[in-house]
Structure 1
Amino acid sequence: MKLSIIGVGDDGLNAVTAAARERILGAEKLLGDERALSLLGEAAKGQRVPITGDLEQVAAQIEALGNATAAMVVFGDPMFYGLARFLTDRFGKDRFEVLPHVSSMQLAFARVMESWDEAYLTDVSQHPLPTIVDRIRTAQKVGLFTTDRVGPAQVAQSLLNKRVDYFTAYVCENLGARDERVTRGELSEIATGDFGALNVMILIRKPDAPDRPRDAIGRRLFGNPDDAFLQAKPKQGLLTPAEIRSLALAQMDIAPGSIVWDVGAGSGSVSVEAAQLAVDGAVYAIEMDPEDHELITKNAERFGAGNVLPILGKAPDAWKTLPDPDCVFIAGAGREVINLATAAYGRLRSGGRLVVNMIAIDNLAAVRSAILEAASGSSATGDVSLNVWMVNIARGADQLERLTFEAVKPNFLLAAVKG
């Protein structure tokens, strides 16, 4: 017997479809939270089975239904960040039928008279707030289900902390109920407000607003100018040049959820830009110099890259307890870079990418041979896809009213994909 999951509103049975009403009135058992069940009135004769927010308990209650004819009543659209998503994943779609009602998200956009067909919609209970804030930054419209712990005030303050201040905000409380309230204001006003737990937050981008804070214009996801990063004065200019950094990050092929190692991270330029690509992942910046380790932290804060995790220590010992990476970047010289590249390749996940930046051609040949040997020596790794580049770049400069070019020291890149 299929369990009917039925969406209702504050009008209860008066506003549901004929099919939904038939399922509710014919049910031997009625599941729902106390508020939803109270809206069904006396016409619904089935045994009331209150449910809570404990998903495992709800699953156990469904298991206990046996062959009884049952209906579950929830608010709005059960499939839109609702309980039905969990239940169909847990028990399979064949076990249920879903009869939706108008969702509170639809009601909220209707109340503020904005379309929602291209809006970024999410639930702060299911995604980290920093990730949501980053997505909001470039959105035109946003709809958020907030929670008791992360309400509209906390969302607004998190946006302001990132200097995102170019949205008009609406907080729609108790939609469909007699005490419904819609509050419109600037983010600074919402950040100091007090709102009920049942709300939807709508953000509408102001016309001609930039997609980043005004003082961050020119900061790119990757390939930022070298002088955008703090560097130790005696070692000024030793960070990976912007052009080489861009090529290396492209070969690392970083996905939003990637685990990245930056070995010998220096001041953290590669780490920071990798973190801006791996928005849902993590970048472990491994550096043995305490001064550079501190600079990594400062540069991560400078770019708002909270997923950069500085590791003070010497590789490979420093990465022993780290999760296996999807991508590894190594910059170095001498025999050490050969050993590190080989060891890092061994830790790569299947399909993972290793990129090594060197300035000595002897190291390039040695690292290439070592990776090929490591791949052929283990049946678990399979074939390796390996490419190398010699990169010569000259930057234009004005000198004595003439255009000249200043050469960047040649770099050698090796990129390997683990089979």
Structure 2
Amino acid sequence: MTAEGRSKLVILGIGDDGTAGLTESARRILAEADLILGPASTLAQVGRVPGRKVILEAEMPAALEQVRASQSASRPVLVCGGDPLFYGVARYLCDRLGKDAFEVVPHVSSMQLAFARVKESWEDAYLTSLASRPIESVIDRIRTAEKAGLFSSDQHQPGKVARALLDHGVDYFRAYVCENLGSPDERVTQAELGELVGMDFSPLNVLILIRKAGGPDQVGRKGGRRLFGNPEDAFAEGRSATGLVTQAEVRAMALAQLDIRPTSVVWDVGAGSGSLAIEAAQLASLGAVYAIEPEAVDVALIRSNAEAFGTANVRAVAGRAPEALADLPDPDAVFIGGLGRQFDPLIEAAYGRLRAGGTLVVNVATLESLSSSYGAMKRLGEPVRVWNVMISRGVEQMETLRFDAIPPSFLLAVTKSGAGRG
């Protein structure tokens, strides 16, 4: 019983093979339950048990009320497919009713089974469900992945996913569709993406994508592709811009201070070749990043680098700030780098548009720029956080180790007061 005297609900995972695939303790939980909630298809797999069966509502708010009511039973159980905590109902319920109201007994996830069937590790795969998101929101993540595992949905069956990938130029994956895993009619289909288009599959399927050797957009150019902190040579830059890509370590510190969320709107003012904008876009995967740059050659480089990294949510804006900021949506985070001498007007303009709870980060290289930026930011908000970034990188030379210093710089950050972001 919980602290309020209500019964804990056991959330029990069941595979497509029904109770035959359960452990003895899981079968005992079902046998002793006096109330069993679950989708009709899962309840059908439970078989004959003493407990009263109740079909769980498809709409989650209504299902939540059923779960609350079920706690008046002595031994309530909610059955669902696979692992309840892996794109299952358990996280939704725990977030709303508290973890102490439940016990979770997982089964092997169909995603685990799918990767086992194709004999591939899933520890480094991009995994997601298409049940509650559009295909377009995951294409760029798939584009640069080595492996991907997708729970399809009624609206996004494998053929439709394959068509969307091909329409976006992603044609370098070997596909496996794993249907009815654990059931007598289990089937695994291996095909090219083009072959999947028009094919029909059981609604209970997992789509596995494995990158072909030598395919384009291979992860990383040099040293591997990272979410942030990629080495400078991972970004193309023009001859006139050589050395102006923000150093990886400074970039990582700046991104940490910007506190970017998946849906954030970000401005990168003075974007250069777009290194920070691109990494910000990988963090704000459902948001948008505006890379403002006055030099036409660098605007072209931003677009080229964004395409290479598969960050379609980077918007290159040709123009000089603050004038170029006028038509942009208000930001949740702003990074300013590559400044000239007139710091104050730009800092004030960016801070004025910044949403409450958002952060402005400035990167400068000289003491004069530091003094001017610090004064402008201190007038706008308190406290201003400041770092003198002096980093040396270890370099092996023959059998010795030496350290090369990267150009020192200063990083400043200030967070706008207010209610903050949701």
After TM superposition, the score normalised by the length of structure 2 is 0.72
Q: Does 1:329 align with 2:359?
A: no
- Deviations for 1:25-83, whole angstroms, at most 9, x for unmatched residues? 33222111111112223x22333221233222211111122421311111112122211
2:31 maps to 25
Cα contact 1:285–1:310 (8 A) shared by 2: yes
Partner of 1:103: 109
CA–CA distance in structure 1, aligned partners of residues 210 and 18 of structure 2: 31
Distance change in 2, residues 1:413/1:6 (3 Å): closer
Question: Of residues 360, 370, 389 in structure 2, which corresponds to 1:368?
Answer: 370
- Residue 88 (1) aligns with residue 102 (2): no
Quote the offset at 1:179 in angstroms.
Answer: 3.7
Q: Which structure has the greater CA radius of gyration?
A: 1
Distance 1:3 1:328 in 2: 47
* Shift in alpha-carbon separation, 1:340–1:114, aligned structure 2, 3 A: closer
- Deviation of 1:201 after TM superposition, in Å, equals 1.2
Contact 1:293 1:310 in 2 (8 A): no
1:55 aligns with 2:56: no
Query: Structure 2 matches for 1:102-121, cutoff 5 A?
Result: 102-121=108-127
- Note if 1:171 corresponds to 2:177: yes
Per-residue Cα deviation, 1:126-171 (whole angstroms, up to 9, x for no partner): 6675664444455444322122233323433444455544432100
Equivalences for residues 253-272 of structure 1 within 5 A: 253-254=254-255, 257=261, 259-263=265-269, 269-270=273-274
Describe the SS at the equivalent of 1:372: helix
Asked if 1 retains the 8 angstrom alpha-carbon contact of 2:10 and 2:76, the reply is yes
Residues 55 and 334 (structure 1), Cα distance of their counterparts in 2 relative to 1, 3 Å cut: same
Pick from 404, 407, 411 the counterpart of residue 415 of structure 1.
Answer: 411
Q: 1:299 & 1:9 partners in 2: Cα distance?
A: 46
The superposition leaves residues 177-231 of structure 1 with CA deviations (integer Å, 9 ceiling, x where unpaired) of 344332101223224533332210122344x4357269x968986553334xxxx
Q: How many residues align?
A: 371
1:328 counterpart letter in structure 2: F
> Percent identity at matched positions?
39
Which 10-residue stretch deviates more, 180-189 or 191-200? 191-200
The answer to whether the 8 A contact 1:3-1:72 is kept is: yes
Cα separation, 2, equivalents of 1:183 and 1:117: 22
Segments of structure 2 that go 5 or more residues without pairing to the other structure are 1-6, 391-406, 416-422
Checking the alignment, whether the CA contact within 8 Å between 1:300 and 1:306 is kept in structure 2 is: no
Distance 1:334 1:176 in 2: 67
Instruction: Work out the CA distance in 2 between the residues paired with 1:353 and 1:384.
Output: 9
Tell me by how many angstroms 1:254 deviates: 2.7
Paired with 2:389 and 2:126, the residues of 1 have a C-alpha distance of 40
Kept in 1: contact 2:277–2:290 (CA 8 A): no
CA distance in 2 between partners of 1:2 and 1:253 (Å)? 45
Cα deviation, residue 263, structure 1: 3.0
3-state secondary structure, aligned to 2:278 = helix
Q: 1:353 aligns with which of 353, 361, 383?
A: 361
RMSD of the TM alignment (CA)?
4.0
For residues 96-175 of structure 1, the aligned pairs below 5 Å read 96-125=102-131, 129=135, 132-137=138-143, 139-161=145-167, 163-175=169-181
TM-score, length basis structure 1? 0.72
CA distance, structure 1, for counterparts of residue 410 and residue 350 of structure 2? 13
State the alpha-carbon separation in 1 of the partners of residues 168 and 178 from structure 2: 24
